[in-house]
């Protein structure tokens, strides 16, 4: 009898499948989510499991049936696309990103930095919203396609661009402010200068087995204290009442 009671107590103490939330998250937001997830777990006793990559890659996985509960994109285009396909609930805006141009030597302006750089990195515009924003800037500055004397390296996602820069493979790079580790010899915030729309939206997948928990997480991201943390982590806060 004592053994049976002990086994019942152990089973009750074990986390159930209902306590797991699976989130597909754009690479730029993963570091922030790794800091925020423990706060959510503490509040709701829910284990958060993350899969990250370029937003376009994650969308392809979702369309192929990947078992995620939530998708946190680096833009609004991909969530709206999934919503129109009937795969998700209505998207909500959880953050607004910032795009930086950084370089390994001082420069008077972003134009001057790009003019002297020989190895410039950015994320693939076809898969990564931050890469699409970088392409937009280069087009405005009449530097797309690349000059013959320069190497423009396309990474799979924005995290890879940061890694390439940190390991000395690039002398200039378009990176997410959320991934920037320190002040750089040259650093320009392009978001306002070029009127970039890096509105990051999240969607609840209709196939989710945890819709109530997923909605709790979306509400958690929109809390004022969480938005304040996101500002410190390289984002612009989202005004309350945003869709």
Q: What is the pTM of this model?
A: 0.87
Task: Say yes or no to pLDDT of 5 above 60.
Answer: no
Average pLDDT over residues 121-149: 90
DSSP secondary structure letters along the chain: -HHHHHHHHHHHHSPPGGGEEEEEEEGGGHHHHHHHHHHHHHHH--EEEEEEE-HHHHHHHHHTT---SEEE-SSSHHHHHHHHTTSBS--EEEEE--EEEEESS--SSHHHHHHH-SEEEEE-TTT-HHHHHHHHHHHHTT--S--TTSEEEEESSHHHHHHHHHTTS-SEEEEETTT--S--SEEEEHHHHTT---EEEEEEBTT-S-HHHHHHHHHHHTSHHHHHHHHHTT-BPPPTT--
- The pLDDT score that the predictor gives to residue 3 is 46
Q: What is the mean pLDDT of the chain?
A: 90
Please state the domain extents for the chain. Answer: 19-97+198-232, 99-193
Q: What percentage of the chain carries pLDDT values higher than 70?
A: 90
The CATH number, out of the four listed (3.40.220.10, 3.30.420.40, 3.40.190.10, 3.40.50.11540), of the domain defined by the range 19-97+198-232: 3.40.190.10
Residue-wise pLDDT tens digits, 141-168: 998 877 667 889 999 999 999 999 999 9
Residues 90-109 have pLDDT tens digits of 999 999 999 999 999 999 99
Q: CATH topology of 19-97+198-232 equal to that of 99-193?
A: yes
CATH number for the region 99-193 comes to: 3.40.190.10
Residue 6 has pLDDT above 60, yes or no: no
């Amino acid at each position: 009898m004592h053994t049976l009671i002990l086994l019942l107590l152990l089973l009750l103490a074990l986390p159930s499948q209902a306590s797991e939330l699976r989130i597909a998250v754009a690479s730029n937001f993963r570091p922030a989510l790794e800091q925020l997830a423990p706060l959510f777990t503490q509040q709701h006793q829910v284990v958060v499991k993350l899969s990250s990559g370029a937003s376009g890659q994650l969308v392809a996985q979702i369309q192929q049936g990947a078992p995620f509960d939530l998708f946190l994109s680096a833009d609004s285009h991909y969530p709206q696309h999934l919503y129109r396909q009937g795969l998700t609930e209505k998207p909500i805006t959880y953050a607004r990103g910032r795009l930086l141009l950084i370089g390994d030597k001082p420069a008077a302006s972003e134009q001057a930095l790009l003019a002297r750089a020989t190895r410039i990195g950015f994320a693939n515009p076809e898969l990564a919203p931050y890469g699409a924003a970088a392409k937009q800037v280069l087009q405005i500055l009449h530097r797309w396609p690349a000059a013959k004397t320069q190497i423009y390296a396309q990474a799979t996602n924005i995290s890879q661009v940061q890694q390439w820069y940190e390991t000395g493979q690039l002398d200039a790079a378009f990176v997410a402010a959320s991934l920037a580790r320190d002040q750089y010899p040259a650093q320009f915030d392009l978001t306002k200068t070029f009127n970039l729309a890096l509105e990051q939206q999240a969607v609840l997948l209709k196939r989710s087995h945890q819709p109530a928990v997923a909605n709790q997480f979306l509400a958690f991201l929109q809390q004022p204290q969480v938005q304040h943390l996101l500002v410190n982590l390289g984002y612009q806060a989202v005004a309350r009442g945003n869709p």
